[in-house]
Protein backbone atom coordinates (compact mmCIF):
# COMPACT_ATOMS: atom_id res chain seq x y z
CA UNK A 1 0.00 0.00 0.00
CA UNK A 2 1.22 3.49 -0.85
CA UNK A 3 2.11 5.70 2.07
CA UNK A 4 2.64 9.35 2.79
CA UNK A 5 6.25 10.60 2.85
CA UNK A 6 7.50 13.19 5.27
CA UNK A 7 10.97 14.73 5.42
CA UNK A 8 11.56 16.99 8.39
CA UNK A 9 14.65 19.23 8.45
CA UNK A 10 16.81 16.57 6.80
CA UNK A 11 20.53 17.24 6.66
CA UNK A 12 23.06 14.98 4.87
CA UNK A 13 26.80 15.59 5.15
CA UNK A 14 29.51 13.92 3.07
CA UNK A 15 32.66 13.62 5.14
CA UNK A 16 35.62 14.50 2.96
CA UNK A 17 38.90 16.28 2.59
CA UNK A 18 37.31 19.65 3.27
CA UNK A 19 36.08 18.36 6.63
CA UNK A 20 32.48 17.66 5.74
CA UNK A 21 30.32 19.16 3.04
CA UNK A 22 26.61 19.35 3.60
CA UNK A 23 24.97 18.19 0.38
CA UNK A 24 21.39 18.51 1.68
CA UNK A 25 20.38 21.03 4.32
CA UNK A 26 17.24 21.77 6.32
CA UNK A 27 15.17 19.86 3.78
CA UNK A 28 11.47 19.45 4.62
CA UNK A 29 8.51 18.30 2.57
CA UNK A 30 5.31 16.31 2.89
CA UNK A 31 3.97 14.23 0.02
CA UNK A 32 0.48 12.78 0.51
CA UNK A 33 -0.14 9.10 -0.25
CA UNK A 34 -0.69 8.42 -3.94
CA UNK A 35 0.81 11.69 -5.18
CA UNK A 36 3.76 12.19 -7.53
CA UNK A 37 6.28 14.75 -6.33
CA UNK A 38 9.04 16.15 -8.56
CA UNK A 39 12.24 17.84 -7.48
CA UNK A 40 13.75 20.04 -10.14
CA UNK A 41 17.28 21.41 -10.02
CA UNK A 42 20.63 21.59 -11.81
CA UNK A 43 23.33 18.94 -11.63
CA UNK A 44 25.07 18.90 -8.27
CA UNK A 45 22.25 20.53 -6.28
CA UNK A 46 21.66 17.42 -4.16
CA UNK A 47 18.78 15.60 -5.89
CA UNK A 48 20.36 12.15 -5.84
CA UNK A 49 21.49 12.67 -2.25
CA UNK A 50 17.88 13.32 -1.15
CA UNK A 51 16.74 10.08 -2.81
CA UNK A 52 19.69 8.11 -1.39
CA UNK A 53 18.82 9.38 2.08
CA UNK A 54 15.18 8.29 1.65
CA UNK A 55 16.26 4.89 0.29
CA UNK A 56 18.65 4.37 3.21
CA UNK A 57 21.98 4.55 1.37
CA UNK A 58 23.08 7.70 3.22
CA UNK A 59 22.73 8.30 6.97
CA UNK A 60 21.21 11.57 8.19
CA UNK A 61 23.24 14.10 10.12
CA UNK A 62 19.95 15.39 11.52
CA UNK A 63 16.25 15.47 10.74
CA UNK A 64 13.74 12.68 10.13
CA UNK A 65 12.42 10.65 7.19
CA UNK A 66 9.00 9.09 7.81
CA UNK A 67 6.98 6.80 5.55
CA UNK A 68 3.44 6.45 6.86
CA UNK A 69 3.84 5.96 10.60
CA UNK A 70 7.33 4.46 10.32
CA UNK A 71 10.52 6.42 10.99
CA UNK A 72 12.95 5.25 8.29
CA UNK A 73 15.85 7.53 9.25
CA UNK A 74 16.78 10.04 11.91
CA UNK A 75 20.00 10.92 13.70
CA UNK A 76 19.46 7.77 15.81
CA UNK A 77 17.40 5.44 13.57
CA UNK A 78 18.54 3.83 10.33
CA UNK A 79 16.30 1.16 8.87
CA UNK A 80 18.15 -1.02 6.35
CA UNK A 81 17.33 -0.20 2.68
CA UNK A 82 15.78 -3.62 1.98
CA UNK A 83 13.34 -3.15 4.87
CA UNK A 84 12.04 0.26 3.76
CA UNK A 85 9.41 -0.82 1.19
CA UNK A 86 10.90 1.67 -1.23
CA UNK A 87 11.19 0.91 -4.97
CA UNK A 88 14.02 2.38 -7.02
CA UNK A 89 14.33 3.39 -10.64
CA UNK A 90 17.90 4.66 -10.59
CA UNK A 91 20.44 4.77 -13.37
CA UNK A 92 22.77 2.51 -11.42
CA UNK A 93 19.97 -0.03 -10.97
CA UNK A 94 19.98 -1.05 -14.61
CA UNK A 95 18.46 -4.39 -15.59
CA UNK A 96 20.45 -7.56 -14.95
CA UNK A 97 21.81 -8.32 -18.44
CA UNK A 98 21.91 -12.11 -17.95
CA UNK A 99 18.23 -12.30 -16.87
CA UNK A 100 15.25 -12.11 -19.23
CA UNK A 101 12.73 -9.29 -18.85
CA UNK A 102 10.39 -11.62 -16.94
CA UNK A 103 13.19 -12.82 -14.66
CA UNK A 104 14.19 -9.22 -13.99
CA UNK A 105 10.64 -8.42 -12.90
CA UNK A 106 10.53 -11.59 -10.78
CA UNK A 107 13.76 -10.64 -9.01
CA UNK A 108 12.12 -8.91 -6.04
CA UNK A 109 9.44 -11.60 -5.66
CA UNK A 110 11.50 -14.46 -4.28
CA UNK A 111 9.24 -14.81 -1.26
CA UNK A 112 6.19 -15.66 -3.39
CA UNK A 113 5.34 -19.18 -4.48
CA UNK A 114 6.27 -20.01 -8.07
CA UNK A 115 2.70 -19.72 -9.33
CA UNK A 116 1.99 -16.43 -7.49
CA UNK A 117 5.27 -15.08 -8.84
CA UNK A 118 4.37 -16.05 -12.42
CA UNK A 119 0.98 -14.37 -12.11
CA UNK A 120 2.48 -11.19 -10.66
CA UNK A 121 5.14 -10.99 -13.40
CA UNK A 122 2.48 -11.39 -16.06
CA UNK A 123 0.36 -8.67 -14.44
CA UNK A 124 3.32 -6.26 -14.28
CA UNK A 125 4.43 -6.91 -17.86
CA UNK A 126 0.87 -6.14 -18.98
CA UNK A 127 0.85 -2.97 -16.90
CA UNK A 128 3.93 -1.65 -18.72
CA UNK A 129 2.57 -2.95 -22.04
CA UNK A 130 5.37 -5.46 -22.62
CA UNK A 131 3.54 -8.75 -22.14
CA UNK A 132 5.17 -10.15 -25.28
CA UNK A 133 8.71 -9.35 -24.07
CA UNK A 134 8.89 -11.75 -21.09
CA UNK A 135 11.56 -13.98 -22.62
CA UNK A 136 13.69 -11.28 -24.21
CA UNK A 137 16.99 -10.17 -22.74
CA UNK A 138 17.80 -6.51 -22.02
CA UNK A 139 20.06 -6.18 -25.08
CA UNK A 140 17.11 -7.25 -27.25
CA UNK A 141 15.00 -4.33 -25.94
CA UNK A 142 15.10 -0.63 -26.81
CA UNK A 143 16.19 1.89 -24.17
CA UNK A 144 12.59 2.88 -23.53
CA UNK A 145 11.48 -0.74 -23.21
CA UNK A 146 14.32 -1.42 -20.78
CA UNK A 147 13.15 1.45 -18.59
CA UNK A 148 9.57 0.13 -18.63
CA UNK A 149 10.90 -3.25 -17.46
CA UNK A 150 12.91 -1.45 -14.76
CA UNK A 151 9.68 0.23 -13.64
CA UNK A 152 7.85 -3.11 -13.59
CA UNK A 153 10.66 -4.65 -11.54
CA UNK A 154 10.52 -1.79 -9.03
CA UNK A 155 6.71 -1.93 -8.74
CA UNK A 156 6.49 -5.72 -8.46
CA UNK A 157 6.95 -5.99 -4.66
CA UNK A 158 4.31 -3.24 -4.15
CA UNK A 159 6.52 -0.61 -2.57
CA UNK A 160 5.00 2.03 -0.29
CA UNK A 161 7.07 4.63 -2.16
CA UNK A 162 8.81 4.77 -5.55
CA UNK A 163 11.94 6.84 -6.15
CA UNK A 164 12.92 7.79 -9.71
CA UNK A 165 16.30 9.41 -10.35
CA UNK A 166 16.41 11.05 -13.81
CA UNK A 167 15.00 7.83 -15.28
CA UNK A 168 14.66 9.15 -18.83
CA UNK A 169 17.88 11.09 -19.28
CA UNK A 170 19.62 8.52 -21.48
CA UNK A 171 16.77 8.39 -23.99
CA UNK A 172 16.17 10.38 -27.16
CA UNK A 173 13.78 13.33 -26.88
CA UNK A 174 10.75 11.66 -28.50
CA UNK A 175 11.05 8.50 -26.38
CA UNK A 176 11.60 10.58 -23.26
CA UNK A 177 8.45 12.58 -23.84
CA UNK A 178 6.29 9.53 -24.51
CA UNK A 179 7.72 7.51 -21.64
CA UNK A 180 7.29 10.37 -19.18
CA UNK A 181 3.53 10.31 -19.80
CA UNK A 182 3.35 6.52 -19.80
CA UNK A 183 5.18 6.24 -16.50
CA UNK A 184 3.02 8.96 -14.97
CA UNK A 185 -0.13 7.09 -16.02
CA UNK A 186 1.17 3.80 -14.61
CA UNK A 187 2.06 5.44 -11.28
CA UNK A 188 -1.37 7.10 -11.15
CA UNK A 189 -3.20 3.90 -12.07
CA UNK A 190 -1.45 2.01 -9.28
CA UNK A 191 -2.00 4.89 -6.83
CA UNK A 192 1.72 4.91 -6.18
CA UNK A 193 3.34 7.56 -4.01
CA UNK A 194 6.46 8.58 -5.96
CA UNK A 195 9.27 11.11 -6.03
CA UNK A 196 11.03 11.87 -9.31
CA UNK A 197 14.11 14.07 -9.51
CA UNK A 198 15.26 15.69 -12.72
CA UNK A 199 17.05 18.69 -14.18
CA UNK A 200 14.48 18.69 -17.01
CA UNK A 201 11.73 21.24 -16.45
CA UNK A 202 9.31 19.82 -19.05
CA UNK A 203 9.63 16.36 -17.51
CA UNK A 204 8.94 17.67 -14.01
CA UNK A 205 5.92 19.65 -15.15
CA UNK A 206 4.47 16.72 -17.10
CA UNK A 207 4.78 14.37 -14.12
CA UNK A 208 4.17 16.37 -10.99
CA UNK A 209 1.21 16.63 -8.68
CA UNK A 210 3.56 18.49 -6.33
CA UNK A 211 6.69 20.23 -7.47
CA UNK A 212 9.77 21.64 -5.75
CA UNK A 213 12.83 23.53 -6.87
CA UNK A 214 16.21 22.70 -5.38
CA UNK A 215 19.16 25.01 -5.07
CA UNK A 216 22.45 24.24 -3.30
CA UNK A 217 21.04 21.38 -1.24
CA UNK A 218 17.96 23.30 -0.18
CA UNK A 219 14.33 23.10 -1.22
CA UNK A 220 13.41 26.58 -2.38
CA UNK A 221 9.69 25.97 -3.00
CA UNK A 222 7.32 23.07 -2.57
CA UNK A 223 3.66 22.84 -3.47
CA UNK A 224 0.95 21.71 -5.85
CA UNK A 225 1.86 21.95 -9.52
CA UNK A 226 -0.22 24.34 -11.62
CA UNK A 227 -2.86 23.11 -14.05
P1 LIG B 1 22.51 15.89 -8.19
O2 LIG B 1 21.90 14.53 -8.12
O3 LIG B 1 21.51 16.99 -8.05
O4 LIG B 1 23.36 16.08 -9.40
P5 LIG B 1 24.11 14.96 -5.94
O6 LIG B 1 23.17 14.66 -4.85
O7 LIG B 1 24.67 13.84 -6.71
O8 LIG B 1 23.48 16.06 -6.90
O9 LIG B 1 25.35 15.76 -5.32
C10 LIG B 1 25.18 16.86 -4.44
C11 LIG B 1 26.55 17.33 -3.95
O12 LIG B 1 27.16 16.33 -3.14
C13 LIG B 1 27.53 17.63 -5.06
O14 LIG B 1 28.34 18.71 -4.66
C15 LIG B 1 28.35 16.36 -5.14
O16 LIG B 1 29.64 16.62 -5.63
C17 LIG B 1 28.39 15.92 -3.70
N18 LIG B 1 28.49 14.44 -3.55
C19 LIG B 1 27.65 13.55 -4.10
N20 LIG B 1 27.98 12.28 -3.73
C21 LIG B 1 29.08 12.41 -2.93
C22 LIG B 1 29.91 11.48 -2.23
N23 LIG B 1 29.67 10.16 -2.27
N24 LIG B 1 30.94 11.98 -1.50
C25 LIG B 1 31.18 13.30 -1.44
N26 LIG B 1 30.43 14.22 -2.07
C27 LIG B 1 29.40 13.80 -2.81
MG1 LIG C 1 21.88 13.02 -9.57
Q: What share of the chain is helix, strand, coil (3-state, %, to 5)?
A: 35, 30, 35
Find the residues whose C-beta lies inside 6 A of ligand 1.
14, 16, 23, 41, 43-49
Q: Which ligand is nearest to the CA of 90?
A: 2
pLDDT digits (tens, 9 = 90+) for 53-97: 999 999 999 999 999 999 999 999 999 999 999 999 987 778 999
Distance from the alpha carbon of residue 195 to the mean position of ligand 1, in angstroms: 18
Report yes or no: 75 and 60 within 8 Å, Cβ to Cβ: yes
Instruction: Name the closest-CA residue to atom 27, ligand 1.
Output: 14
Ligand 1, atom nearest to 214 Cα = 3
| C-alpha of residue 95 to centroid of ligand 2, in Å | 19
Put simply, whether the predicted model's pTM sits higher than 0.85 gets the answer: yes
**What percent of the chain lies above the pLDDT cut of 70?**
98
**63 closest CA partner among 189, 217, 179:** 217
- What is the tens place of the pLDDT at every residue in 91-144? 777 899 999 999 999 998 988 999 999 999 999 999 999 999 999 999 999 999
Length of the chain: 227
- Burial label, 36 (beta-carbon count in 10 A; 0-12, 13-18, 19+): buried
Amino acid sequence: MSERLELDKVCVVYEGARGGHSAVEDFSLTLAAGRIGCLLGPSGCGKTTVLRAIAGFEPLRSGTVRLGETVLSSSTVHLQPERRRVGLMFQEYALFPHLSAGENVAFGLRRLTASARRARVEELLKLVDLAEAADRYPHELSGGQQQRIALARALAPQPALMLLDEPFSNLDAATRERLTLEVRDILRRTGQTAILVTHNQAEARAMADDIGVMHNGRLVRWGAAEG
